[in-house]
Amino acid sequence: MTDEAHEEFTKPWDQLTAIVESGDAEKLSDYLKSLPPGEPARALSRMSKDEQAGVLETLPETDAADLLTELPGEQAAQLVEELPVEEAAVIVGEIESHAQVELLARIDHQEAVAILDHMEPDEAENVRALAAFPRDTAGGLMITEYVAYPEDARVEEVLDDLRTHSEKYARYDIQYAYVVSVEDHLVGVLRLRDLLLASLAASIRSIMIEDPIAVPAATGLEDLQRLFGRHAFYGIPVIGEDRELVGVVRRSDMERAAEQQANRALLKFTGIVGGEELRSMPFLLRSRRRLSWLSINVLLNVLAASVIAWYQDTLAAVITLAVFLPIISDMSGCSGNQAVAVSMRELVLGLIKPREHFRVLWKEATLGLLNGLVLGAVLGGVAFLWKENVALSLVVGVALAINTVLSVCLGGTIPLLLRRANQDPALASGPILTTLTDMCGFFLVLSIAQAAMPWLAGY
Amino acid sequence: MTDEAHEEFTKPWDQLTAIVESGDAEKLSDYLKSLPPGEPARALSRMSKDEQAGVLETLPETDAADLLTELPGEQAAQLVEELPVEEAAVIVGEIESHAQVELLARIDHQEAVAILDHMEPDEAENVRALAAFPRDTAGGLMITEYVAYPEDARVEEVLDDLRTHSEKYARYDIQYAYVVSVEDHLVGVLRLRDLLLASLAASIRSIMIEDPIAVPAATGLEDLQRLFGRHAFYGIPVIGEDRELVGVVRRSDMERAAEQQANRALLKFTGIVGGEELRSMPFLLRSRRRLSWLSINVLLNVLAASVIAWYQDTLAAVITLAVFLPIISDMSGCSGNQAVAVSMRELVLGLIKPREHFRVLWKEATLGLLNGLVLGAVLGGVAFLWKENVALSLVVGVALAINTVLSVCLGGTIPLLLRRANQDPALASGPILTTLTDMCGFFLVLSIAQAAMPWLAGY
């Protein structure tokens, strides 16, 4: 309570609104910089759309651009959509090319086109070219702000150029300089450190790293992760079809993309379609996205539960079984999801190929047998303590044991099969798994019970 | 089938074993380097422990160290445990300090102590000091390989030092040099670029960035993420209690740690205790870890299902309800998990504070109302198509609608409450959520049915 009471006096969103109303750009900028990291994003998410747009419009352009890049992607996109196109174009123009592409990809297409039309033609052209590369490829992740020199340049010339354009390059994130042939082919990489230590008269060809590792623009995120994992590079040059230099993928951008991918997978696995939802997003969009997943699940659930309907007479004779059906369903889901998660992880780490389902099947079947026996014994034991009927506890224990083996086998292999079929394991594994294991679980409990009816009836 | 047949001839693990038997270190090193990224890890995971140890023992030490750092952490740790202590100490000695700490933290404590005893005393001392910092703090993530100069040094002296020790520094990952006072306090940061462009006679004090941002060793991962998100730094200096420089956290290490944390959260959320499992881990360890989660779940499930037992008579009178109980249970779990995932994400992004549960409650309750109405209508519709009984479809539809509201409200707030109580939301949210929503769901279906019994009996 004291925390909340305290916040009443210091709500940063109220302060922001007040400063925007006063129109004092400098004060606004200072106040935002005084907030702890992350707090501007939270504060904006508490303000109305107009108030948020007011903050961006009041701020100096570069500060507005900095603020935008600090926000979560979805939040930044919503904000830009609220701005007048001219204002948006000016602010977006201040952002790094690579972040421009990411931001514009998230906003409404027509709005994005309008913003590009209001930007400087060169810059807009660059963004359009970058946007053509798919997300999570070298082309989609690369920056185009790099420095390249012809191979016959001398160290002194390079240092002169760096010094002359230091203002321009200050915006760049220079860790390496690249060396290109007359045909613009990438022939070498210069480390700043080597440039620092070399004699001024030396040719850069003599100190460059020759035959540098470079990747085509279509290289996927997983391959990039492994390359960076293997080499202590800060950036890897990206080349076009003729080995011409087109950009640089930085380690930090690759790692951020990988983190985002892992997060999207987590969210998809729990039924967040698209891998993204913030509570500041429009109500109907959130509802529709969640429902698109839930409505498939409700139909699959009906399908699975229809197995119970076939055995209605068995269930009527032994009504106690109705208590155990949801338990079997939920436990099989838990066991199977563990196996799904391990398979997804091993796929990401490259420890397993999609075609190696027999290996996974063997590993999971043996584990499932042991865990199934333990869980079956626990549930059978609980059933016995409750009803003191050996047959009943055998029915539910054996059914859970068998279904545990089935669900870990299915859980382990479904992601591999989905990946082989070029489907996204994160989104589809869960519903497929639970539908199959529910059907099998209900069938096992009820069919075994039917066979054991003479010892069960009346419970 | 052709894929698998093809692999018979080229299994890299068989090749590795053959080369190890021949004892040809150079051939082994060349062969490993010829494999595509990630493939060495997969190949080793297919070999026996002795064979894996043979690979490391045959390789030149630096190559063995490179291989270790390329493997997933758990796999590297298992491998080191298989080596004789002397060999392990030599190979571990070749790894970067920060990776040494990470590796040794994963292996058996006594084994780790023995390895440290066989390492060079200085290096072992450094590792012990680093290991004292908790994981995912600035102290735990920092490297101690950095260069620092006194504030009265001149540019020329710094360049001379860099040149003289270029061999030693080649192992370092230098992006900045640090400037310290006579008391060893951090007073500035030198960018390599500025060093490059300055006149040789200049004092480094004149070109350094003054009052640089620095963090105490106890700074957590989330604060580091926000700092790096806000500033385009490659590394942030870490300071001790007296503002003395103790290390540097690099952006890449912070991002890797964040990615690992997101992955651990994903795995914990699906019931992988500890956030880590590879199928190459010992069978009993995998079984025990999975069971520790499942056995809690089976007991919570029994608790939830006991609600059904109270209403046994109602159920016996309307046996059809038994078909809908698992559906209600599963659907409420799905809806609730979506809300859990969004809350976990917003907590990580800092968009929500743990105490703001009323805001979440409001956002989720309104969404749950809409989604509950839609899902209730779907399930009620299915029930009507099947049994053509309006009362039955109202019972299941209304129960699902109400329970959807409850489960999204619980799902949204449970992670916040757990975080407030300093518990891990990833591990505990799921079981708590499903137990509560199952109990409520069963209670709703069966108590509403009991009230509507006159219109239901016999279905």
Dump pLDDT digits (tens) for B341-378. 899 888 877 788 888 889 999 999 999 999 999 999 99
Cα distance from A108 to chain B (closest Cα, Å)? Answer: 23
> Using one digit for the tens of pLDDT, what is the confidence trace for B10-42?
688 888 888 989 988 889 988 888 887 678 888
Instruction: Say how many C-beta atoms besides its own lie within 10 A of residue A281's C-beta.
Output: 16
- Tell me which chain A residue has its CA closest to the CA of residue B173: A232
In angstroms, the Cα distances linking A433 to A125, A343, A451, B70, B82 are 46, 13, 27, 33, 37
Q: B201 CB contacts (<8 Å, ≥6 apart)?
A: B154, B155, B156
A279-283, B284-288, B307-311, B378-382: which range is least confident on average?
A279-283
All structural domains of chain A, each given as residue ranges with its CATH number in brackets, are 12-132 (1.25.60.10), 148-267 (3.10.580.10), 282-456 (1.10.357.20)
Q: B459 CB contacts (<8 Å, ≥6 apart)?
A: B318, B319, B320, B387, B389, B392
Does residue B4 have a pLDDT over 60? no
Strands A186-191 and A209-210, bridge-based pairing: antiparallel
Cα distance from A70 to chain B (closest Cα, Å)? Answer: 6
- pLDDT over 90 percentage in chain B: 40
- Cβ B320–A312 below 8 Å, yes or no? yes
C-alpha A359/C-alpha A364 separation (Å) is 9
Of B222, B263, B322, the CB nearest to A345: B263
Q: Residue A5 has what pLDDT?
A: 41
CA A234: distance to chain centroid?
22
> Using one digit for the tens of pLDDT, what is the confidence trace for B402-429?
999 999 999 999 999 999 998 888 888 9
Q: Where are any strands of DSSP class E within B181-303?
A: 186-191, 209-210, 215-216, 235-239, 245-250
A304 neighbors A435 (Cβ within 8 angstroms)? yes
A104 neighbors A92 (Cβ within 8 angstroms)? yes
Q: Where are any strands of DSSP class E within B301-454?
A: none
Using alpha carbons only, how large is chain B's radius of gyration in Å?
30
Element (H, E) at B412: helix B390-420
> Using one digit for the tens of pLDDT, what is the confidence trace for B143-156?
888 889 999 999 98
A166 touches chain B (CB under 8 A): yes
- Cβ B333–A330 below 8 Å, yes or no? yes
Average pLDDT across chain B, whole number: 87
- Tell me which chain A residue has its CA closest to the CA of residue B369: A287
Q: Which residues of A386-414 are buried (b: 16+ CB within 10 A; e: fewer)?
A: bbebebbbbbbbbbbbbbbbbbbbbbbbb
B260 touches chain A (CB under 8 A): no
Q: Residue B3 has what pLDDT?
A: 44
In angstroms, the Cα distances linking B367 to A280, B333, B336, B458 are 12, 16, 12, 36
A292 touches chain B (CB under 8 A): no
Cα distance from B279 to chain A (closest Cα, Å)? Answer: 7
Does residue B94 have a pLDDT over 70? yes
Rank A7-21, A208-222, B222-236 by mean pLDDT and report only the highest.
A208-222
Q: Residue A414 has what pLDDT?
A: 95
Cα distance from B211 to chain A (closest Cα, Å)? Answer: 16
C-alpha A412/C-alpha A364 separation (Å) is 7
**Average pLDDT over every residue of A170-186:** 82
> Using one digit for the tens of pLDDT, what is the confidence trace for A71-95?
888 889 888 988 999 999 999 988 8
Q: Residue A372 has what pLDDT?
A: 96
Note which residues in 334-363 of chain A have CB less than 8 A from chain B. 334-335, 337-338, 340-342, 345-346, 349-353, 355, 359-360, 363
* Residue numbers in A near B3 (CB within 8 A): 355
3-class DSSP state of B93: helix
Beta bridge partners of B280: none
Q: Where are any strands of DSSP class E within A71-227?
A: 148-150, 176-180, 186-191, 209-210, 215-216
Q: Residue A374 has what pLDDT?
A: 96
Note which residues in 402-441 of chain B have CB less than 8 A from chain A. 434, 438
Altogether, the residues listed in chain B come to a count of 459
Note which residues in 93-112 of chain A have CB less than 8 A from chain B. none
A375 touches chain B (CB under 8 A): yes
Q: Sheet holding B245-250: strands in order across?
A: B215-216, B235-239, B245-250
Cα distance from B57 to chain A (closest Cα, Å)? Answer: 20
Instruction: Say how many C-beta atoms besides its own lie within 10 A of residue B443's C-beta.
Output: 17
C-alpha B308/C-alpha A307 separation (Å) is 19
Of A223, A297, A363, the CB nearest to B279: A363
Residue at token pair 């010339």: A157
Q: Residue A3 has what pLDDT?
A: 44
Sign of CA pseudo-dihedral A137, A140, A145, A150: positive
Tell which of B323, B337, B416 to mutate to test the A interface (max A CBs under 10 Å): B323
Note which residues in 294-333 of chain A have CB less than 8 A from chain B. 294-295, 297-299, 301-302, 304-306, 308-309, 312, 315-316, 319-320, 322-327, 329-331, 333
- Cβ B345–A263 below 8 Å, yes or no? yes
* Residue numbers in A near B336 (CB within 8 A): none
- Tell me which chain A residue has its CA closest to the CA of residue B75: A351
Cα distance from B183 to chain A (closest Cα, Å)? Answer: 29
- Cβ B371–A291 below 8 Å, yes or no? yes
Instruction: Say how many C-beta atoms besides its own lie within 10 A of residue B294's C-beta.
Output: 22
- Tell me which chain A residue has its CA closest to the CA of residue B368: A287
Q: B129 CB contacts (<8 Å, ≥6 apart)?
A: none
- Cβ B374–A197 below 8 Å, yes or no? no
Among candidates A304, A260, A263, A268, which has minimal Cα distance to A289?
A: A268
Residue at token pair 């492994």: A226
Element (H, E) at A38: none
Q: Residue B241 has what pLDDT?
A: 86
Does residue B320 have a pLDDT over 80? yes
Task: Tell me the whole-structure pTM to 2 decimals.
Answer: 0.79
Q: How confident is the model at residue A168 (pLDDT cuts 50, 70, 90)?
A: confident
B45 touches chain A (CB under 8 A): yes
**Average pLDDT over every residue of A406-411:** 96
- Tell me which chain A residue has its CA closest to the CA of residue B363: A279
Q: Residue B88 has what pLDDT?
A: 92
Altogether, the residues listed in chain A come to a count of 459
Note which residues in 121-160 of chain A have CB less than 8 A from chain B. 159
ipTM: 0.79
3-class DSSP state of A168: helix
- Cβ B367–A327 below 8 Å, yes or no? no
Strands A186-191 and A176-180, bridge-based pairing: antiparallel
Of A75, A259, A374, the CB nearest to B291: A374
- Cβ A319–B315 below 8 Å, yes or no? yes
Q: Which residues of A244-255 are buried (b: 16+ CB within 10 A; e: fewer)?
A: ebbbbbbbbbbb
Q: How confident is the model at residue A37 (pLDDT cuts 50, 70, 90)?
A: low
Among candidates A426, A443, A414, A438, which has minimal Cα distance to A331?
A: A438
- Tell me which chain A residue has its CA closest to the CA of residue B370: A287
Q: A6 CB contacts (<8 Å, ≥6 apart)?
A: none
C-alpha B63/C-alpha A11 separation (Å) is 56
**Average pLDDT over every residue of B1-10:** 46
Tell which of B327, B371, B384 to mutate to test the A interface (max A CBs under 10 Å): B327
> Using one digit for the tens of pLDDT, what is the confidence trace for A133-158?
888 899 988 888 888 999 999 998 99
3-class DSSP state of B249: strand
B252 touches chain A (CB under 8 A): yes
Cα distance from A111 to chain B (closest Cα, Å)? Answer: 26
Higher pLDDT, A141 or B398: B398
Return phi, psi of residue A282, to 5°. -60, 140
- Cβ A325–B330 below 8 Å, yes or no? no
Tell which of B301, B315, B348, B353 to mutate to test the A interface (max A CBs under 10 Å): B301
Tell which of A219, A233, A268, A323 to mutate to test the B interface (max B CBs under 10 Å): A323
Cα distance from B16 to chain A (closest Cα, Å)? Answer: 16
* Residue numbers in B near A231 (CB within 8 A): none
Beta bridge partners of A149: A179
Q: How confident is the model at residue B1 (pLDDT cuts 50, 70, 90)?
A: very low
- Tell me which chain B residue has its CA closest to the CA of residue A325: B326
B286 touches chain A (CB under 8 A): yes
Beta bridge partners of B143: B248
Q: A31 CB contacts (<8 Å, ≥6 apart)?
A: A15, A16, A19
- Tell me which chain A residue has its CA closest to the CA of residue B197: A163
Higher pLDDT, B370 or A125: B370
Q: A421 CB contacts (<8 Å, ≥6 apart)?
A: none
Instruction: Say how many C-beta atoms besides its own lie within 10 A of residue A424's C-beta.
Output: 15
Q: Residue B459 has what pLDDT?
A: 60
In angstroms, the Cα distances linking A143 to A113, A170, A237, A304 are 21, 15, 10, 49
Tokens read off for B169:
């520094």
Beta bridge partners of A424: none
User: DSSP string covering A193-262, please?
Assistant: HHHHHS-TTSBHHHHSEES---EETT-BHHHHHHHHHHS--SEEEEE-TTSBEEEEEEHHHHHHHHHHHH
Q: A15 CB contacts (<8 Å, ≥6 apart)?
A: A31
3-class DSSP state of A145: coil
End-to-end CA distance of chain A: 52
C-alpha B223/C-alpha A425 separation (Å) is 32
Q: Where are any strands of DSSP class E within A278-391?
A: none
In angstroms, the Cα distances linking B243 to B188, B238, B239, B333 are 12, 9, 5, 50
- Cβ A366–B283 below 8 Å, yes or no? yes
A178-182, B251-255, B363-367: which range is least confident on average?
B251-255
> Using one digit for the tens of pLDDT, what is the confidence trace for A97-107?
878 888 888 88
Beta bridge partners of B176: B191
Q: Residue B5 has what pLDDT?
A: 41
Average pLDDT across chain A, whole number: 87
Does residue A40 have a pLDDT over 90? no
Tokens read off for A330:
């939920």
C-alpha A216/C-alpha A237 separation (Å) is 9
- Cβ A262–B267 below 8 Å, yes or no? no
Cα distance from B84 to chain A (closest Cα, Å)? Answer: 26
Among candidates A273, A435, A298, A281, which has minimal Cα distance to B374?
A: A298
- Cβ A279–B360 below 8 Å, yes or no? yes
Among candidates A170, A436, A429, A109, which has minimal Cα distance to A303?
A: A436
Tokens read off for B166:
């270029």
Tell which of B259, B353, B357 to mutate to test the A interface (max A CBs under 10 Å): B259
Of B196, B341, B434, the CB nearest to A192: B196
C-alpha B119/C-alpha B37 separation (Å) is 30
> Using one digit for the tens of pLDDT, what is the confidence trace for B211-249?
899 999 999 988 898 788 777 788 899 998 888 999 999
- pLDDT over 70 percentage in chain B: 95
Tokens read off for A100:
């421009």
